[in-house]
Amino acid sequence: MKRTTALLVVVCCLVVALLVGASTGVSGVAGDPFAQQEEIDPDDVLITADVDAEGDAVWTIEYRVRLSTSDEEQAFEEFRTDLEADPAAYTDRFRGRMETTVGAAANATGREMSVSNVSVTAERREIPQEYGVVTYRFRWGGFATVEDGRIAAGDAIDGMFLDEESSLILSWPDSHELDVASPAPAETRDGSVVWIGPVDFAGGEPRVSAVPESAVSSLPGGLPILAVVGLLVVLGGAVAYVRRDRRSPVAEDGSTAGSSASDERRDETATDAEADAEAAADDGSTDDSPADDESSDGDSAGDDGEVPPVDAELLSNEEQVLRLLEREGGRMKQKRVAEELDWTAAKTSQVVTGLRDEGDLEGFRLGRENVLTLPDEGGAEDGNDGNDDARDDSDDGTGGASAT
C-alpha cells in the first residue's frame, strides 16, 4: 500500500509543479517517497494540451515508469488495482489540485477559466520496453484566447518549467495553421509543436498562435491567392491572344492568316458574324457588276459544263481548293469555292489566305469579289477591273472594252 500511495503522490506533485512553474521537476520533487523507498525516478513525462477553436484545451499528462524489476511491476499493479476499485478517490484529489492551478491562472490573465472532465487511468504499455503509464486528463476551459479566428495560447502557463524527462506538446485544430511559436520548438509537426526538456520558459513564454487556413492563404490585402492565380491565368491568356493576333498577317479580304493546322482548328470557332459579312459582300457584288456575271459564266463549269467532285476524305482543305481550281482551269471566284466545297465563307477565307501566304495561290479583286488563280495562270493586280474575256477581246484586235 505504501508503494501505491507513493506513486500517486509523485504523479500529483509532478502535475502541479509543471503547471504552476515550480523550480523543481519530476526527479526533484521534495519528499518523493516513491523514489526514496525504491530508488526509482520517473522515466518519462509527456504533457499534451490540445486546444480547440473555442479556446478550451484537453490536457493529458502521461506519467511513465519503466517496469524493469519485479518490485516495480508489483507496485504498479497494486496502484492500478486500487485505482480501478475507487477511481473517484484519485480524480477528486487531482481535480482539487488542478482547480487551484487554473484559478491562479485565471487571476493572472483576467480570463474566466474552469476545470471539467477529470479522469485517470493506469495501464501497462510497451514503448518499446515495458512501462507502467498513469494518464491524467482534464478539460481546461478558457485556456486560450480566440479573436477573429486566431487562437493564442500560453499565457495561462507563463514561465512553465520542463525538466530533462518532460516534453510538452501543444496542438491546434485541423482548420488552423501555425502562425507563431515562442520559444522555437524542438519539433514542428502537422498541427502541433513540441518542446523537449529541459526548458525554462522565460516570462511571456511559451506562446503559440494559430490562424484559420483561409487567413494563411490570403495576401496582406485580403485577396485570396487562388483568386490571384485565376486572374493571372486570364490575363496571360488575353496577352497570348493579342500577341498571336498581331503576329498573324492580314489578307486582302480582311481575314487573318495562319498555318494549315491552326486554320482547321479555327474552322470550328469561326463566328456567324464573319460568315454573314462575307456572304453579304458576295451577294451584293453579284447583282451590281455585269463583268462579274460574265466571269461567273466562265468559271461555272469545266469542259463538260460540270465540276468533277472532290474527294474530301482523301485531301486536306488546301488540297481540295487547289484541285478544284485545277479542274476549273486555274481560275475561280472565292464565293464559288465555298459553294462547291460546302464551306462557310469564314472557313474558305482562312484556307485561301493560308495558301496565298504559302505562294500556292494568287488572287485579285474583281469588283467586290475575290478571284482566285493558280500561280502559273497569272491574274490582274488589285484594282484592275479587267478579266480574261476582256483581255482576249483586246488580243483579237476587236477593240472590246474592258469590263467594269
Is the pLDDT at 313 greater than 50, yes or no?
Answer: yes
Going by C-beta distance under 8 Å and a sequence separation of 6 or more, which residues neighbour residue 96? none
Three-state secondary-structure class, residue 156: helix
pLDDT score at 270: 44
Residue 293 cell numbers, joined: 456575271
pLDDT tier, 213 (very low <50, low <70, confident <90, very high otherwise): confident
pLDDT score at 189: 93
Going by C-beta distance under 8 Å and a sequence separation of 6 or more, which residues neighbour residue 4? 75, 78, 79, 82
State what percent of residues in the chain have pLDDT above 90: 39
Segment 323-335 shows an average pLDDT of 89
Of residues 38 and 307, the one with the higher pLDDT is 307
**What whole-number distance in Å separates Cα of residue 140 and Cα of residue 15?**
14
Of 260-274, 292-306, 344-358, where does the model show the most confidence?
Answer: 344-358
- In this structure, the number of other CB atoms found within 10 A of the CB of residue 346 comes to 23
Specify the DSSP element, H or E, that contains 109. helix 87-109
At 66-97, the pLDDT tens digits run: 998 999 899 889 989 999 999 999 999 999 99
Of 68-82, 145-159, 309-323, 333-347, where does the model show the most confidence?
Answer: 145-159
**What whole-number distance in Å separates Cα of residue 327 and Cα of residue 317?**
16
Residue 292 cell numbers, joined: 462579274
Please give the sequence-ordered ranges of beta strands (E in DSSP) within 19-100, or none if there are none: 44-51, 57-66
- In this structure, the number of other CB atoms found within 10 A of the CB of residue 213 comes to 14
If 0-12 CB within 10 Å is exposed, 13-18 middle and 19+ buried, where does residue 153 land?
buried
Nearest to 124 by CA among 40, 69, 43, 64: 64
